[in-house]
Amino acid sequence: MSLEDIEKKLYARGSKSEPPSASKPKISQPPEQKIEEKWFGENEPPKIIHSHKKRRGFLFLMVIFFVVVIAIGIYLISQYLNAPTVKMDISAPSEIFVGVPFNASIIVNNTSNHVLHQASLTIDLPDGLVYITSAEENKNVINENIGDIETSDLIKKTYSLLALSDESKIKNVKIRLSYQAGLGTSFEQEETKDIAIKKSAVSLKLDVPDQVVGGSVFNIEVNYKNDSNFNFSNLDLEMTYPSSFQFISADPDPTSFNNLWRLQEAKAGISGKIQIKGSINEAFQKGFDFQAALKTNINKKSYVVNQQKATGQLAPAPISLFILINNSPDYVAKLGDKIRYTIQYQNNSGVALADNIIKARLIGELFDIFTLQTNSSINSLTNTLTWNTANTPELRLLNPGAGGNVNFSIQLKPNFPIRRLNDKNFHLKIEAQMDSPTVPYYLSAPKTSALTNLETKIQGLTTIEAKAYFRDANSGILNSGPFPPKVNQATEYTIHWTIKNYSTDVSNVKVSAFLKSGVVFTGAVKSNISSQPTYNNLTQEVIWNIDKIVATKGIISEPIEAIFQIQATPNVTQVKYFQPLLGQTKIEVQDNYTGVTLENAALPVNTQLPYDLTVKPEEGAVQF
């Protein structure tokens, strides 16, 4: 069909009248030419694609795309609307006691026609509730894989839980069941349960005095009662004392550490009482806190059932008592010290105190009791000194504001009593007490008392020995040269440094000594530890640095030792004398127990060689 025919047909559809004729340009056809060889498609007419055809194809694709999206959406919605019917329930007490274990059962019933695949259960416990059968401490999230749940299956899972806190609060337990059904679609279902925490299963009451006089003895009372229907088989009471509290006694006696009572069986309705006696010795402390905690052990883990805290105030002491050692409260003692103790006292009660007695007990292995000097009476069985009206008349009556002091002197032993590796960090202790039968009107006590004590650290001891040898095969270093030494001829010697450390750990150890005139360092050196001595050519000083040395090293175990070789050439002025080899060996350490710097020294070394048993006493003198 020609282009003119197509045009007539199109116009005929919209109107009965014919379209106006249009002049059409004539296209002259070129004369045909015969070509022997033609290219493929050379005479084919060009393809014409109209724009309205492109638009119709694009619209068709868009319609198909939207139909597919809508179909997928309808399918997914239908999957969720047709989720399997699963019933879940939480079976647990509606009210519980703090400290009493209880069971929570989760029941899952698949009432649908679908198998629930890869089902898992998650239980979220609020703060204050924990899962007690878990190896983890205070676990409050439980995850458990259940696997596949067949149609009509009923699954029951039971968990042991415990309430730890938040009395009179309502806790919300939430469970979630996750699974897949149908064509792998994932579903999640939730249920919740409210549980009311009533109170602690065991009530606890802690009574301490509102005000306590420093140094005076007072009572603490702890009362408990099992208010639940649960029989505790392993209930403990643990006390926490202020740092300045001095435990004296308790009824009943503690099981261990003066602060722990194993109550064993605490059946429903049972009650008990613990009375503790002690004192607070901090004269300038404003307040103090005591804490009592009831704990139960479940699956080898401890849980707090109840805890109470009580606070008291420290009243001004009616008697102040203070101890000095060599006129200082912070004196650091050392072996062989002669020390003087002074016990100062003053009446702050506002009333006259009669018939006062002062006692001091000496505690420590290093007190040499045989050197004790005092006007007090002495109990040598308990090492207790007593001052009273008989030996100190001014104690008969102590007026308000009046004071005084008593004293004694004693020598310390010259050696540490080290027998084991852990015999370290020695100290002295004085426990002093002053009593009067006179009681001020504002105190409810059988007597007026004051207590105090003083602990004094004893610094350690680190020693150094310096020894010289000519014949020293055991060291593994061979010495050469003439001996007895001869003028202008070099002779080699080995120097041994031996360190012993006694009662304290020490650090930053430095050993040093200067070589004497005519002596040089050969460079041969050994040590039984990682560090070795080094030599400074400019200063002629041998230095040995050690990071740390533990207590009793060289006393219970082998000492630390270093060996180095020197070469000495005597001069003519030293004939008939022992040639000096090494100056004084000094050792300086930091005492880790007392914080003080310790120093010691070894004597200078010459060619006399007293430790070399192969050398006669005068053989080391220089000869021509």
Q: Are residues 340 and 260 in the same domain?
A: no
Residue 590 and residue 477 share a domain: yes
- How much is the pLDDT for 235? 87
Q: Exposure string (b/e) for 18-49, b if CB count within 10 Å is 16 or more?
A: eeeeeeeeeeeeeeeeeeeeeeeeeeeeeeee
Looking at the structure, tell me whether residues 416 and 477 fall in a common domain: no
41 is a domain residue: no
Is residue 48 situated within a structural domain? Answer: no
482 and 424 assigned to the same domain: no
Please compute the mean of the pLDDT values over residues 95-116 and round it to a whole number.
Answer: 87
159-187 tens-digit pLDDT: 888 888 766 678 888 888 888 887 677 88
Last residue of a domain, one of 270, 292, 315: 315
29 falls in which pLDDT band (50, 70, 90)? very low
> How many domains, in total, are found in the chain?
4
Please, which pLDDT band fits residue 1 given cuts at 50, 70 and 90? very low
Q: What percentage of residues in the chain have a pLDDT greater than 70?
A: 86
Are 183 and 97 in a shared domain?
Answer: yes
Are 510 and 412 in a shared domain? no
Residues 436/353, Cβ–Cβ less than 8 Å: yes
- Whether residue 192 sits in one domain with residue 102: yes
> What pLDDT shows up at residue 34?
46
Give a yes or no: residue 617 inside a domain. no
Token couple for 346:
């003053």
Residue 490 belongs to domain with CATH number: 2.60.40.1170
Question: Does 67 fall in a domain?
Answer: no
- 472 and 425 assigned to the same domain: no
Q: Is pLDDT above 80 for 368? A: yes
**428 phi/psi in degrees, rounded to 5:** -110, 150
- Confidence class for position 144, pLDDT limits 50, 70, 90: confident
The CATH number assigned to the domain holding 131 equals 2.60.40.10
Assign 205 a pLDDT band (cuts: 50, 70, 90): very high
Smallest Cα–Cα separation from 493: which of 515, 462, 509?
Answer: 515
The answer on pLDDT for 151 being more than 50 is yes
Residue with tokens 């702890």: 222
pLDDT of residue 6: 47
Distance CA 148, CA 84 (A): 14
State the residue range of the domain holding 108: 86-200
